[in-house]
Amino acid sequence: MVEGGNVDDRYDKAFPVSWEQFHRDARALTWRLAEYGPFHAVVAITRGGLVPAAIVARELGLRVIDTICVASYDYGAQGDLQVLKEVKQDLSAEGGKGVLIIDDLVDTGKTAKAVRDLLPNAHFATIYAKPSGCPLVDTFVTEVSQDTWIYLPWDMTLQFAPPIRDGAKV
């Protein structure tokens, strides 16, 4: 569990993101990234970075996609960070120069710092950013408050949502 209890105790606000919104935001990220290239490869931080990396790679015409596999989150719980898989050696040459790192969001910055340490010269981009993590990324689309839990489309199902006046989280 997170410090202080479950996810609902740590986060005061909810930010649900639909598939359509996520796709629009990933394309908006690509528009911003176009001015920073050229890039020769994309590195997705798994798992959250897989979907936006595929969209960005398509839009930028990049065919070389690798992953860096980092474990630090389960729903509502952030544990010790573990790098489970690093990128291919040729992509880490020159500190990742010409490489684009993609993740869905930067929260506390713990994962971003670990990846940034491995690829210090890469361009780091996320769709969503929270204040604690913002300084660690080069480009992002939307900033949300630190006390907001972002519900990404792959973590949700369609169901009834009670009105805010009835106690639903904002």
Active site residues: 103-104, 107
Sign of the torsion angle spanned by Cα atoms 19, 51, 98, 80: positive
Q: Tell me the CB-side half-sphere exposure of residue 37, using CA atoms within 13 A.
A: 17
170 burial via Cβ count (<10 Å: 0-12, 13-18, 19+): exposed
- Greatest pairwise CA separation for the chain in angstroms: 54
Give the whole-angstrom CA distance, residue 114 versus residue 73: 14
68 within 8 A of 47, measured Cβ to Cβ: no
